[in-house]
Amino acid sequence: MIEYSWIDVFAVGFFILEWATYAITLERSSYGRDSLSARMNVYREVWIRRMLEREARIVDTHIMTSLQNGTAWFASTTLIAIGGSLALLRATNEVMPMLQSLPIGFSAAPAMWEIKCIGLILIFVYAFFKFAWSYRLFNYVAILIGAMPLAENRDTPEAEAHVVRTTKLFGAAARHFNRGQRAFFFALGYLGWFVSPWVFLVSTAAVVVVTWRRQFASNAWEAMGK
């Protein structure tokens, strides 16, 4: 029998609700259209259109390489996080006595500890799939950049259609990358549950506040609005 209290259930529900609400607000609402991510998405189209005017596109390919490498790094880091979480799950009997000896008032049944570990693993698995798919989409964008019409054909309907197609795929790659990174941030908040559900509530709220501020009230957001 798994021992849990109402506050554990409330904290998990609060975590899921905050994550879902934040994601929907950022990606689906009119309020989210003024986020830092949305402002950056405008410049992706600007980049693609200016690329169409250039004959030499070496700089553009270097930028794409750096985006792909960054996404690959996050994907590989997620695999390391999954492995660490699996090791934590397997070492339940060794970890529990160590945590109970710390002066933080830790107390949890082994079954509850394992549930928390499984939840952390699922978050990182979700993040991995998002980063892996984002990396794949960035590869597709690189192919579309290679297939970009020549500069002398930039005013043709074919060139316009290619710009729109590339921009949409570019935006999709960035969106999946943002979802994976968001999972990383919320995983940090999830760690609070390993201490207590009360800490879990506070850490989840802190993650929402920090991520919201970066998207809607940071120096980067202000700079991109000028």
List per-residue pLDDT tens for the chain, 226 residues long.
455 688 889 999 999 999 999 999 999 999 999 999 999 999 999 999 999 888 888 888 899 999 999 999 999 999 999 999 998 888 777 766 666 665 555 556 778 888 899 999 999 999 999 999 999 999 999 999 999 998 888 889 999 999 999 999 999 999 999 999 999 999 999 999 888 889 999 999 999 999 999 999 999 999 987 6
Residue 188 has what pLDDT?
95
Tokens matching residue 198? 């009360």
3-state percent breakdown (helix, strand, coil) of the chain, nearest 5: 85, 0, 15
Coil/strand/helix, residue 196: coil
Burial (CB < 10 A; 0-12, 13-18, 19+), residue 85, is: buried
Q: Are 85 and 121 in contact (CB under 8 A)?
A: yes
Q: Rg of the chain over CA atoms, in angstroms? A: 22
Residue 1 has what pLDDT?
45
Q: Are 126 and 190 in contact (CB under 8 A)?
A: no
Residue 57 has what pLDDT?
84
Tokens matching residue 163? 């710009």
208-213 long-range Cβ contacts below 8 angstroms, 24+ apart? 208/18, 208/22, 210/185, 211/22, 211/182, 211/185, 212/22
CB atoms within 10 A of CB 189: 24
Residue 110 has what pLDDT?
75
The enclosing H or E element of 86 equals helix 58-90
- How far the first Cα of the chain sits from its last, in Å, is 58
Residue type for position 191: L
Alpha carbon 134 to its chain centroid, in Å, reads: 10
Q: Are 26 and 37 in contact (CB under 8 A)?
A: yes
Tokens matching residue 12? 């998990």
Residue 114 has what pLDDT?
85
